């Protein structure tokens, strides 16, 4: 039994970038054991598959259940559909990008199918070997796990949030009828409200501009909004900022917030508590602006400017504007 089945998450009929990056990464030479295993995909819900070979690498088969009932994420329908397709596919691994959807769906499938679940795995994980490592205890420790069953389910964290180049190939789409049965006891998602579609979510952004208590006020975050907007990034916040009510909890980064993995993390007026750094371990480069040269954030930062955020950030915005003009 071998083969990797990748869940390609769709929203509003489009396969999400997190799934596309995961798929393409699985076909890179670095994912050596994945190369020996054939890849196939699942799309649940109505989605346009025209031109999908222009974003997904390699040659493969994609099972597409285009039923309208699966347009929004319906936990029970999705569980039944994916469980059935995993059984039919004969694959030994089912792989998800780590998202709000897969964090709900994967544990259901694990119980229903009796397969082990390795969640939040950091890349590269040895999918063939059935092991996974990820950070625990506020990012101060890395734990390694081994799956004890023949079939395994993985959710894999994004890395660096930069697009992965694709390789040429041919993709065959196999339409599949709705596979779900009785769903009377299930919860039903009735609506999805999209927010600020112009901005990436902080958990998926390639650049995160995060503010801490040192920003001083909710109003001061307008600077960070502007900077993030210019850089095509998202705004993040420390716990203190969210507890003050300056920013919504959806932007909180850290132990009781989100874990981010941008290529650049810009920490503005953040002292760098262990609880905050629990969420930033995946950042590629960390730059910090803080008036206190001895702030703990500088222990984990690659670059730093010692100064008041209220003077440094406006100047930085000016520099970014000039840089973008030249670009």
Partner 1 sequence: MKIAVTVCFVPDTASVIDIVDGALDHSRLNLVMNPYDEYALEEAVRIRERHGKGSVTVFSAAPASSTELLRKVLARGADGAVLVPVEDAIDPCQTAMLLSQAVSGFYGDVLPDLVFSGKKSTDFQSEQVPVMLAELLGIASVSGVTALKETAEGFDAEREIENGIECSSVKLPALFSVEKGLNTPRNVSIRAVMEARKKPIEIFPAGLEGKPHVRLIGLEPVARKKQCRFVRDEKELLGVLSDELHLL
Site for partner 1 in 231-290 (CB under 8 A): 231, 242, 249-250, 252, 255-257, 263-264, 274-275, 277, 281, 284-288
For residue 48, state whether it binds partner 1 (rule: CB under 8 A).
Answer: no
Q: Is there a cis peptide before residue 124, judged by omega within 30 degrees of 0?
A: yes
CA neighbor of 290 nearest in space, from 216, 188, 232, 182:
216
Q: Give the residue with the Cβ less far from partner 1, 137 or 217.
A: 137
Q: Considering only CA atoms, which of 19, 3, 22 is closest in space to residue 11?
A: 19
Q: Does 192 bind partner 1 (CB under 8 A)?
A: yes
- The yes or no reply on residue 138 touching partner 1 (CB under 8 A) is yes
The answer to the question of residue 292 lying near partner 1 (CB under 8 A) is no
Does 316 bind partner 1 (CB under 8 A)? Our answer is yes
Output 25 or 239, the one with its CB closest to partner 1: 239
Instruction: Return all residues near 60 (Cβ < 8 A) that are at least 6 apart.
Output: 38, 39, 40, 41, 169, 171, 172
Residues 6+ apart with CB under 8 A from 167: 24, 27, 57, 58
Closest approach of partner 1 to the CB of residue 74, in Å: 9
State the nearest-atom distance from the C-beta of 192 to partner 1, in Å.
5
Q: How far is the CB of 297 from partner 1 (least distance, A)?
A: 9
What is the longest distance spanned by two Cα atoms in the chain?
61
CA-based nearest residue to 273, from 260, 254, 290? 254
Q: Please report whether residue 186 would count as binding partner 1 according to CB under 8 A.
A: yes
49 contact partners, CB below 8 Å, separation of at least 6: 43, 62, 64, 173
Residue 196 in the binding site for partner 1 (CB under 8 A): yes
Which secondary-structure segment (H or E) carries 19? helix 17-26
| Distance of closest approach, residue 58 Cβ to partner 1, in angstroms | 26
C-beta closer to partner 1: residue 175 or 232: 232
Told to check if 320 binds partner 1 by CB under 8 A, we report yes
- DSSP-derived pairing of the beta strands 10-11 and 60-65: unpaired
Q: Which of these, 291, 228, 280, 220, lies nearest to 255 by C-alpha position?
A: 280
- Within residues 202-221, the interface with partner 1 by CB under 8 A covers 203-204, 207
Q: Which of 87, 104, 292, 308 binds partner 1 (CB under 8 A)?
A: 104
Q: Is 194 in the site for partner 1 (CB under 8 A)?
A: yes
């Amino acid at each position: 039994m071998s083969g990797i089945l990748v869940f390609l998450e769709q929203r509003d009929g489009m396969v999400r970038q997190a799934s596309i990056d995961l798929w393409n990464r699985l076909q890179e030479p670095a994912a050596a054991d994945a190369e020996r295993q054939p890849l196939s995909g699942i799309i649940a819900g109505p989605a346009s598959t025209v031109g999908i070979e222009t974003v997904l690498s390699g040659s493969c088969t994609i099972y597409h259940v285009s039923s309208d009932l699966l347009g929004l994420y319906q936990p029970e329908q999705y569980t039944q559909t994916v469980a059935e397709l995993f059984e039919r596919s004969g694959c030994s691994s089912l792989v998800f990008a780590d998202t709000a959807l897969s964090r709900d769906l994967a544990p259901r499938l694990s119980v229903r199918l009796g397969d082990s679940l390795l969640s939040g795995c950091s890349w590269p994980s040895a999918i063939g070997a059935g092991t996974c490592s990820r950070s625990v205890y506020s990012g101060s420790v890395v734990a390694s796990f081994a799956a004890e069953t023949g079939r395994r389910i993985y959710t894999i964290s994004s890395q660096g949030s930069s697009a992965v180049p694709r390789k040429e190939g041919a993709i065959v789409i196999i339409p599949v009828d709705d596979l779900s049965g009785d769903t009377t006891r299930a919860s039903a998602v009735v609506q999805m409200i999209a927010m600020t579609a112009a901005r990436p979510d902080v958990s998926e952004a390639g650049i995160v501009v995060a503010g801490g208590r040192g920003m001083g006020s909710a109003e001061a975050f307008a600077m960070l909004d502007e900077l993030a907007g210019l850089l095509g990034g998202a705004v993040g916040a420390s716990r203190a900022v969210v507890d003050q009510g300056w920013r919504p909890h959806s932007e909180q980064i850290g132990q009781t917030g989100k874990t981010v993995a941008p290529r650049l993390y810009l920490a503005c007026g953040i002292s760098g508590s262990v609880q905050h750094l629990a969420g930033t371990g995946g950042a590629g480069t960390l730059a910090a602006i803080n008036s206190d040269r001895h702030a703990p954030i500088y222990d984990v930062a690659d670059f730093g400017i010692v100064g008041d955020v209220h003077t440094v950030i406006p100047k930085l915005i000016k520099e970014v504007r000039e840089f973008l003009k030249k670009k």
